Chain A
């Protein structure tokens, strides 16, 4: 499969020179299509200090179909579903917006950027988006609290 070659290449690139705040590994050494990503909450965001587990799943049709990204760590964010799935809604990951020339590194950087700067108008959690727009202070508080509660291991 051509996709495996590309995936392996992207993986080794990411392992060799990881983008800021992002560490990747395979969830299962025998399966190239399931990645486990450790994402640090960006500085200056309410997620700072937290380490979030992000599960990245690649379809067998990759790169012709987009990867899916979900948070394994609970996170309070307008663009991440507040359920056990923790699905992330990224425009570039929608099937009709995906481009095969997008790299996984770009996807992960975009996801991290989204922690820094949520997109409430493209939100999946409407309530959190409203709060983000209208009551930023409270949003920050809850997001921090959740980060402390779920994303900090001590």
Chain B
């Protein structure tokens, strides 16, 4: 008896029916099991219409499975179907096109609990491994870069079903990165600090502008609205001593509980800065990290608090990534290395989402 048959096989029992389809080359199979109802006895007449639909789907999936190159699965011993079931499946084994045959029979008792056609390939490479690859890729595993083939079925599926690649289906590292970036942008989450509470915002001290708070040229501006702030104007002062208009800082703190200038948390009351920021106010924007001449000198040191460690990590990651990492695949330059200090950006976001992060 040839090991491979194609087409439909169906097994049924009262209250149970099992149908499976297998492509002619044996590389693809799927099956359904319905429990409950008297499907198998009632449904026989309609099965003739079903194949027309299934044939096109079958062709599609066959095309997909064509990209897999390792599906010569062996059947293990003891996995034989009952003989009469084989007969149904192999009626015309040589026909190139799929033939769909309905076959009803009473399955042997133990088969009622099969959810898979035991005659088919036992464990085909399902999308499971691809998912694993994606996750591996997110963790910085370069293996994915060499496995172009693994992504192809998604590309085909996406093309066949006319799914735009900006939708849910992505099939390349870059697209995936882009989608994740979008998600981050949209949700404003990721490694971004959480909003401050209303109470915390309202309990911030205010202060009238003094001469010392003005810049060396005697002027000052709120670094959020960039409006000039006159002497004796009341401003809100954060624990890091940076000050802002109340309305301005409130709008920011409603989104993130950190200083918009130095990123110190407004909750970090215990350990406050002895040095940095005391003589500094937001008017000195040209000194801010962004405008420094080198893109890599991004942040000055700041006192260690648990929150500043966390926020510093994301900035450290950027500079630590300037040293080439052997792990980086061709398409993996945004991933960073897998070291603890390198989980910024996308990687950091994923880590923090999936349990690896510190938050």
Contacts and interface: CB of A to CB of B under 8 A. Distances in A.
B17 to A, nearest CB: 50
Contacts of A6: 224-227
Given A110-B295, A120-B333, A94 B261 contact: no
A126 B190 CA distance: 23
Chain A contact residues (Cβ within 8 angstroms of B): what range? Answer: 35 or more
A100 B248 CA distance: 10
Contacts of B184: 94-96
A45 B255 CA distance: 39
Residue among A91, A96, A114 with max Cβ neighbours from chain B (10 Å): A96
In the A-B complex, list the 6 residue pairs whose CB atoms are closest, starting with the nearest: A96-B192, A101-B223, A121-B321, A106-B291, A106-B290, A126-B331
Interface in A1-47: 2, 5-6, 9-10
User: SS class of chain A's interface: helix, strand, loop or mixed?
Assistant: helix
Interface of A: 2, 5-6, 9-10, 63-65, 78, 89, 91-92, 94-97, 99-103, 105-107, 109-110, 113-114, 117, 119-124, 126-127, 129-130, 133
User: SS class of chain B's interface: helix, strand, loop or mixed?
Assistant: loop
B345 interface: yes
Interface string B319-336: 001111100111111101
A5 B226 CA distance: 9
Contact of A64 (B252, B261, B332): B252
B224 A126 contact: no
Nearest to A121: B321
5 contacts: A9-B226, A100-B223, A106-B288, A119-B296, A127-B330
Contacts of A9: 226-227
B339 to A, nearest CB: 13
Contacts of B177: 124
Contacts of A114: 295
Contact of A121 (B189, B288, B324): B324
A120 B328 CA distance: 11
Contacts of A129: 333
A9 B288 CA distance: 19
B191 interface: yes
Residue among B184, B188, B291, B336 with max Cβ neighbours from chain A (10 Å): B291
Contact of A103 (B247, B248, B291, B328): B291
Nearest to A83: B174
Interface in B247-262: 247-248, 251-252, 255, 260-261
A99 B263 contact: yes
Nearest to B249: A100
A130 B332 CA distance: 10
A91 B345 contact: yes
A149 to B, nearest CB: 24
Contact of B322 (A78, A89, A119): A119
Given A97-B314, A110-B290, A122-B345, 16 more contacts: A5-B225, A65-B188, A91-B345, A96-B191, A96-B192, A99-B288, A100-B260, A101-B260, A101-B285, A107-B290, A110-B295, A120-B333, A121-B336, A124-B177, A126-B332, A133-B324
